[in-house]
Amino acid sequence: MSSSESQRLDQLLVSLNLVASRSRARDAIQRGGVKVNGKVVTKPSLVFASNVVIEIDDPAQDYVSRAALKLVAGLDHFKLDPSDQVCLDVGASTGGFTEVLLQRGAAHVIAIDVGHEQMHPRLQSDARVDNIEGLNARYLEPEDIGDQAFTFLVSDVSFISIKLALVPALELAEPGAHCLLLVKPQFEAGRDAISKAGLLKEPETAPQVAAELERWLVEDMGWISLGMIPSPIAGGDGNVEFLLAGRKPEDDA
């Protein structure tokens, strides 16, 4: 690329090998993590020459996925500690949540996803990770995860309601286990509530939709709610998301 050639900022970051993808570039820019010639730029579409001075100060850069920041926020807010525990990561994808769990000292992470070949190579090769692909969590059976007991559950699922995807995992979790679930109202509200762009037609209803998931966790699944907070960053499509924390009672009493 010549020094005079200009590109959109999100494209330029990729061309200069400063980020892994345009989606990561857009996210970093929109969250104020990119400076051009010393000034913060928040519009990915602005055009710059390739010889500008670019600085990136984005905490998401340290992780395989921006989703990691969501789990970090939830763990810190609810003071949940996965250290020395066997964890189940439902909807693991590239491994953002798995990576955070390992960094926080998890003994082992069972990472499951309905897709294939998504997890980052450095996590695939980690002996502490069981990467189970092509597994629909809705039909999870103990033998699918080698009958391993787990005491910490995290999830980041899309295009399916948590009410469908997480019933087996919540039931299989050991008594006393903790969960931290990413709630995406756009996949909970029903098709009629979603625009063609995949956004809630009435975004002000998002907290109400999320609250129904908290009720479900407690009343239908028998867990104890530890609370719910908004995610510090929106979903990739711009939808507001929430983090729901819970604890499974020690017994059925």
Our CA dihedral for 73, 68, 137, 81, rounded to 10 degrees, sits at -50
Residue 198: the pLDDT is: 73
Same domain, 182 and 207: yes
The domain in which residue 141 lies consists of 68-247
The answer to whether the beta carbons of residues 183 and 222 sit under 8 Å apart is no
Residue 253: the pLDDT is: 46
The answer to whether the beta carbons of residues 47 and 68 sit under 8 Å apart is no
Same domain, 235 and 116: yes
**Cβ contacts of residue 37 below 8 Å, gap of 6+?**
52, 53
- HEC profile of 188-214: CCCHHHECCCCCECCHHHHHHHHHHHH
- CA 31, 77, 119, 241 torsion-angle sign: negative
Would you write out the chain's pLDDT as a tens digit for each of its 253 residues?
A: 444 578 899 899 888 888 777 877 887 888 788 889 888 898 988 999 888 988 887 776 778 888 899 999 999 999 999 999 999 999 999 999 999 999 999 999 999 999 999 999 999 999 999 999 999 999 999 999 999 999 999 999 988 999 999 999 999 999 999 999 999 998 888 777 777 777 777 878 889 999 999 999 999 999 999 999 999 887 666 778 999 999 999 975 4
Same domain, 15 and 130: no
Backbone φ and ψ for 252, nearest 5 degrees, come out as: -90, 5
Domain boundary among 60, 78, 106: 60
Same domain, 14 and 88: no
Domain boundary among 60, 84, 103: 60
Residue 27: the pLDDT is: 77
Q: CA–CA separation, 48 vs 1, rounded Å?
A: 13
Same domain, 148 and 183: yes
Residue length of the chain: 253
Our CA dihedral for 106, 227, 233, 177, rounded to 10 degrees, sits at 20
Domain assignment of residue 121, yes or no: yes
Backbone φ and ψ for 165, nearest 5 degrees, come out as: -75, -30
User: How many domains in the chain?
Assistant: 2
Q: CA–CA separation, 36 vs 20, rounded Å?
A: 18
Residue 188: the pLDDT is: 87
pTM of the predicted structure, to 2 decimals? 0.81
Residue 42: the pLDDT is: 87
Domain assignment of residue 156, yes or no: yes
